[in-house]
Structure 1
Amino acid sequence: MRLDKLEKIRENSNLKNIVIMGDSNLFYFTGYRGMGTLLYCDRVPYLVVPALERNRAEKTKGLEVRSYFPVRIAEDLIEGGMFEAIETLCKGISESEVGLDVRSLSAELYNSIRDKWKIKDISSEISSIRSIKDEEELDKIRKAHEITAKAMNRALEEFTKGGVTELNISGLIDFTMKEMGAEEYAFPSIVAFGENSAEPHHIPSLRRLKASDNAVVDIGARFEGYCFDSTRTFLPKFSYEELRKVYEAVLEAQLEAIDLVRDGVEASEVDKMARSRIQRAGYERFFIHSTGHGVGIDVHEAPLVSMKSKDILKENMVITVEPGIYIKDRVGVRIEDTIIVKKGKPEVLETLYKFI
């Protein structure tokens, strides 16, 4: 558990009470994954869950688990819903500001809470703390990397057989990741052949691989709650000139951007480096997304590696560097690695040697 980090937020924000909602934040601070809310009431932590989650929640050590149900069917249940349970456990919660990660709330939930409590948004504080990983987190991300690498290599083996569909490959990747110990994929696996590769978020189809096709594979495993993210573009044996030119521009942009990654560098400078190389190749208008993002419990989290990012890279942040070029109905190329920021040379978690 990381309640010590929550206590620092409470002290620095001059708060009496904090309520943690959202699956990712709840897991980060408690290690519990399931429906529930962490109530940090005047330095006393409660894990508040619906009755059907109680048996599982009680396996979480170091927290008092309290559960609720619409009617009082047992003495140890709080009658009502989540709000009634919180207000029963933390009397007077509405009398002072309550710390909340507003970004983790749906609009409906936010509006409900706003009518009940005085909210102090602690989104930035939580995002900042989560962006720097401890060694336990890094080890889980490295394990997710190992699993993803095996799935990526399995995909490459299948391409040599020819005639496979995008769905064939994506299904094989998902099976391989689970076979190797992943809980699930970090996001739905993307496999795109030929003209489909010009769609960054293409949904795999029955499109068959042709001898002249390139293939973009964007995948990531989730291991013990932590994500990984990697993309490779596979080229046909005999690449046509435009495809080769696009590939080389993206690869060089990625390598130059990675060389810039280290503690103290502005994230926007990494984006600028990648974008400038693609601009020199004449493809600037086809680079239509940010250069990267943070990775952790969520596959997209702080910091943001974009042209307008205000984030500064810090040691043990985990980010992606993934420039891409997408020319509609013709070709797309993306190359992505997940990287651990260090004071000097970054730790690059490659899934497959880049020069394919």
Structure 2
Amino acid sequence: MASAAAATMFSSAADSCSRRVFLITTLQVRPTRSSSAFLRTSITVSSHARTSASPCSSSSVVNAAMAAETSAKVIDGKSVAKVIREEIATEISRMKESTGVVPGLAVILVGDRKDSATYVRNKKKACESVGIKSYEVCLAEDSSEQEVLKYISSFNDDPSVNGILVQLPLPSHMNEQNILNAVCIEKDVDGFNPLNIGRLAMRDREPLFVPCTPKGCIELLHRYGVSIKGKRAVVIGRSNIVGMPAALLLQREDATVSIVHSRTKNPEEITREADIVISAVGQPNMVRGSWIKPGSVIIDVGINPVEDAKSPRGYRLVGDVCYEEASKIASAITPVPGGVGPMTIAMLLSNTLAAAKRANSFE
């Protein structure tokens, strides 16, 4: 580790931050006329509640702005995702009436991980809710890599399947890169194909698909009318799935982007300069109030379980950002849960619809 600060940054922060429930205000959505238009639709938040929640830890060094006891707008991903699903359902209905085509999404699940099975089940329900036909393959943990590749090849050749998703993580004996690369680029609705990422990174090139979670982060900023052009943005984390594509998307929107990672010196100082922060490192409550610039916008991708004896499950979910502290300083923030999570599935549905339209030359 390059410095003590960086080491501290990626150690597990105090998990005593108790997330308070904020009053979610009515979202006003401008109607759209097409699926391309829904990506430009904005949502305005007319008002927000104020609260005087206590800080995560009395020993925390927090920004002086906390004394004002203001609270940030809640960026309600659950409500936005619902609106998007309704828009997608409308477009699918229009497409079916015009062409008789129904989009199809195939999901391949290997192994018996409960979390992966839950994700697949939720994706299937989401598909059904908008009219996308769902294809599901469940393979045993000890299945061979060749078996997975066989199903991918079959779905690649099936015109009724417009998107293919391989649920991650895969068992350790499988080569993840080989399997993801086998998905043809026209059906890569997860956006993980190197050609899609390469196009995303290049000016004047357009990827066929953008990875769903970072796409959802940017969509939330758009829908809440957050200006990105010319702003300073910090992405915490540099994974291929979220961090790197999120940074590329922000750069495409003309933000000045810094990436904070495990080797970064003085991560707090860099993050404190940001107008927009996207955090995706998987460390509970790592980003404290002292890291936040007053008035900034916080998109928290982290979903981390922490022990909670008061919860019936014995744990609760928190983000990478200490919500209680940050919400007193930021102008807007996503909650956990109910922020980025619902948007990820909504963007998967959006990508599947786009794939079906492209395959059938439907506008």
Q: Same fold (TM over 0.5)?
A: no
TM norm structure 1: 0.26
Structure with the largest fraction of strand: 1
Structure number with higher relative contact order (C-alpha < 8 Å, ≥ 6 residues apart)? 2
Taking structure 2 as the reference length, what is the TM-score of the superposition?
0.25
User: Highest CA radius of gyration, 1 or 2?
Assistant: 1
